[in-house]
Amino acid sequence: MNIEKINIDFALKTPIEIVQWAVNYAQKPIVTTNFRPYESAVLHLVSKLSPSIKVVWCDTGYNTTSTYKHAEELIKLLGLNIELYTPKQTTAHRDVVLGIPKVDDPKHHLFTEQVKLEPFKRAMAAHKPDVWFTNLRKGQTTFRDSIGVLSRSSEDVLKVSPFYHFSDADLDAYLKKYDLPNEFNYFDPTKQLDNRECGLHN
């Protein structure tokens, strides 16, 4: 597969055309979510074209009350086939022995491994997907600016980001068109800053 060539073509395709292509190509697709802002767009589109697709939610245990309510609303609204993965240690236990280290604290790497990377690796090992739908977009981070609609994960899984070329305004219009909720009261303890990667994609 020539990803660079396909990405040039996909720059002119709509998200629905991209997802249709990927669904036809995939044997074992998944879509991941953390219910952050604008996640409802990719969840709506992918689940509409592939209703039984596994929706992998790696819940760090540190989401806001608003995000958990948003997640429950979307799961019910879209009939999502949720596969929930959580850290092996409870949030309460970790708060006592580690807390949430700052990004420049040497313990932050351990924290990220515990609450996000280990559950994600467990999910990928369990599902062994060949296609992974994400909501990565150009302009979010320097790394994400360097990829395209299609990219390869470190595990060599084909990542598909159908809204890669969409702006916030484009996504606002999409959500309005389909009467979908959004969520902005979101906190990722592994990133803490919007322009940082958490380790899943870089």
**Predicted local confidence at residue 138, as pLDDT:** 84
- pLDDT of amino acid 62: 94
What average pLDDT does range 34-46 have in this prediction? Answer: 96
Whole-number percent of the chain with pLDDT over 70: 91
- Residue 197 pLDDT grade (very low, low, confident, very high; cuts 50, 70, 90): very low
Pairing of strands 29-33, 54-58: parallel
Residue 130, phi then psi, degrees to nearest 5: -105, -20
What is the structure's pLDDT at 9? 86
- Per-residue pLDDT tens for 144-189? 667 789 999 888 899 999 999 999 999 999 999 999 999 999 988 8
Which domains does the chain show, CATH number per domain? Answer: 3-177 (3.40.50.620)
- How high is the pLDDT of residue 142? 66
**CA nearest neighbour of 86 among 65, 61, 108:** 61
What's the alpha-carbon Rg for the chain, to the nearest Å?
Answer: 17
User: Which ranges of 101-190 would DSSP assign to H, the alpha helix?
Assistant: 108-112, 118-127, 142-145, 168-177
C-alpha 59/C-alpha 188 separation (Å) is 10
Backbone angles phi, psi at 131, to 5 degrees: -130, 135
What would the pLDDT profile of 89-108 be if each residue is shown by its tens digit? 999 999 999 999 998 899 99
Residue, of 166 and 143, whose pLDDT is higher: 166
Q: Per-residue pLDDT tens for 1-11? A: 888 888 888 98
Residue 106 three-state SS: coil
Distance of CA 106 to the CA centre of its chain: 26
pLDDT over 50 at 40, yes or no? yes
pLDDT band of 141, cuts 50, 70, 90: low
Of all residues in the chain, the percent with pLDDT exceeding 90 is 76
Question: Is the predicted pLDDT of residue 21 greater than 50, yes or no?
Answer: yes
